[in-house]
Amino acid sequence: MKEKITVVGGGLAGSLLSIYMAKRGYEVSLFEKRPDMRKANIYQGKSINLALSTRGLFALEKIGLDKEILKDAIPMYGRMMHSKAGEINYHPYGKDGQAINSVSRGKLNQKLIELADKFDNIQIQFDSKCIDINVNKTEATFELANGSHQTITANRIIGSDGAFAATRGKMQFTERFNYSQDYLHVGYKELVIPASAGGSFLMEKNALHIWPRGSFMMIALPNPEGDFTCTLFLPFELFDKLKTDDQISDFFRNEFPDAYAMMPTLLEDFQRNPIGNLVTVRCYPWVKEDKIALVGDAAHAVVPFYGQGMNCSFEDVVVLDNMIEKYGNDWNKILDEYQKERKPNADAIADLAIQNYYEMADKVGDKHFLHKKHIEHQLTELYPNKFQSQYELTTFSLSSYRHALEQGKKNDLLLEKIIKDGAEEKIHDADYMNQLWHLIE
Ligand SMILES: Cc1cc2nc3c(=O)[nH]c(=O)nc-3n(C[C@H](O)[C@H](O)[C@H](O)COP(=O)(O)OP(=O)(O)OC[C@H]3O[C@@H](n4cnc5c(N)ncnc54)[C@H](O)[C@@H]3O)c2cc1C
């Protein structure tokens, strides 16, 4: 008899995971609390588009979906910063041709579900909300649309039910389970810069736009239809001050004048769209024996400022699959090695993501920071085999998030030294640089 796996949550990680497990020959039952996203138009209350980068693409490539997803994606080669005075500053993300990709969350999820549906050994059940888990019996109970309950027993359960996971909630009742959640003091609201009347983009299409304003910011990612999805990140006490149409208009006119001129539906969007919370969830262990494991946001929700939450969740799936390859059917070992490898990296990307909030909101408008970024970019171009920026390691490589975090700290020492020496001109001089490389080793 084939092994059975219950997957709870058919979002980005759960649908990908089901495909990986089915390819390994397991009998997968995937339960999703929402209706079928191919039939119903579900507003997920999360971002409309997402930045997909190297780690996520690698995971999709393994199931042959990368090219299809990239067809509808818009590459963003750098950050475009908008000052209050309307000045624009552009900084490339990586070397020539390196880009992060704006993709639609809904379409990506749909494509994954469509592919999952093609496997005979995946059963997908929508409108099925997990309400209970018996970890020791590997039993999961779901509430169905008509209010009835259904209990399923499998060889193991994998929880991919997101930042507020019911599966994790049940694991909290197991022994020595550590858990913390930290809300950022900032919430977010999605808004729109529509396409022009002719359907073209009103700003540079191939960039991620940022309006950094110190304690808050707005960003915009392009969509294939010619519009941009803007996300306003604002401390909650400032959201509280934006109640009337006049307050909202005044705020946008003062803070984001160039964007304001391109947002004809601002008031409608602002009043209608909810304010989202941003949470960092850390927990451990992620597994209990060979019975249950957590993947994706269920194990490690991170704030979105490095554009890595989904990419990291997809990487979880790849690592879990690698462990199956390595340890065969020894699920105690598979799950234990999976959590040991992923936990330090999830903690690292959680730290990097918070760090990047302050960088995006505040520092990208700071002269010293921009100078440092300029030198950093030159070093990546001049010495590609010696110097890799933290951003490059996080976004355009498969090396561990922990390495990216540690290397970033070392790089900073090097960059500060060059600035302290007033030696920007000398970075072309290999002799000068040879005296400094030890700082990043
Ligand atoms: C504003 C914002 C912007 C972001 N931008 C980026 C970005 O640019 N790049 C990036 O990589 N990441 C980004 N992220 C992070 C990304 O959205 C998440 O990391 C990713 O969605 C995690 O996937 P997941 O499958 O673990 O969780 P989810 O996508 O949340 O999926 C969980 C699924 O489980 C289902 N579910 C929940 N509870 C139950 C239950 N009890 N029973 C059954 N089903 C259940 C849900 O309906 C959902 O379908 C962003 C997040 C936010 C909030």
- Residue 217: the pLDDT is 95
| Phi and psi angles of residue 144, each rounded to the nearest 5 degrees, phi first | -95, 175
Residues with CB under 6 A from ligand 1: 8-14, 31-34, 46-47, 50-51, 129-130, 160-162, 166, 188, 231, 296-298, 304, 307-311, 313
* Atom in ligand 1 nearest the alpha carbon of residue 131: 41
pLDDT band of residue 290 (cuts 50, 70, 90) is very high
- Residue 110: the pLDDT is 95
- Residue 361: the pLDDT is 81
pLDDT tens digits for range 67-111: 999 999 999 999 999 999 999 988 888 887 899 999 999 999 999
Distance from the alpha carbon of residue 163 to the mean position of ligand 1, in angstroms: 7
Distance from the alpha carbon of residue 34 to the mean position of ligand 1, in angstroms: 13
Distance from the alpha carbon of residue 435 to the mean position of ligand 1, in angstroms: 46
The answer to whether 260 and 158 are in contact (CB under 8 A) is: no
Ligand 1 atom 39, closest CA: 161
Tell me how far apart the alpha carbons of residues 328 and 325 are, in angstroms, rounded to a whole number. Answer: 6
Tell me the C-alpha to C-alpha distance, in Å, between residue 164 and each of 326, 343, 429.
Answer: 31, 18, 52
pLDDT band of residue 358 (cuts 50, 70, 90) is confident
Q: Which domains does the chain have, with CATH numbers?
A: 4-74+103-182+280-356 (3.50.50.60), 184-272 (no CATH), 366-440 (no CATH)
DSSP state of 192: E
pLDDT band of residue 410 (cuts 50, 70, 90) is very high
Distance from the alpha carbon of residue 398 to the mean position of ligand 1, in angstroms: 21
Q: pTM for the full model? A: 0.96
* Atom in ligand 1 nearest the alpha carbon of residue 161: 34
Tell me how far apart the alpha carbons of residues 387 and 406 are, in angstroms, rounded to a whole number. Answer: 13
Task: Give the pLDDT mean for 203-223.
Answer: 96
pLDDT tens digits for range 134-187: 999 999 999 999 999 999 999 999 999 999 999 999 999 988 999 999 999 999
Find the helix packing angle between 105-117 and 12-23, rounded to 10°. Answer: 30
DSSP output for 87-147? -EEEEESSSTT--EEEEEHHHHHHHHHHHHHT-TTEEEE-SEEEEEEETTTTEEEEEETTS
Mutating to test ligand 1, I would choose from 50, 57, 314 the residue with most ligand atoms within 8 A of its C-beta, which is: 50
Give the side-chain half-sphere CA count within 13 A for 98: 19
- Residue 367: the pLDDT is 83
* Atom in ligand 1 nearest the alpha carbon of residue 163: 30
- Residue 426: the pLDDT is 95
- 3-state SS assignment for residue 375: helix
Rg (CA), the chain: 23
- Residue 42: the pLDDT is 61
Amino acid symbol at 241: K
Tell me how far apart the alpha carbons of residues 383 and 418 are, in angstroms, rounded to a whole number. Answer: 15
Task: Give every strand in the sheet of 74-76, ordered side by side.
Answer: 49-52, 100-104, 74-76
Residues 6+ apart with CB under 8 A from 282: 178, 179, 180, 181, 300, 346, 347, 350
pLDDT > 60? residue 430: yes
Q: Which residue has the tokens 């939450």?
A: 309
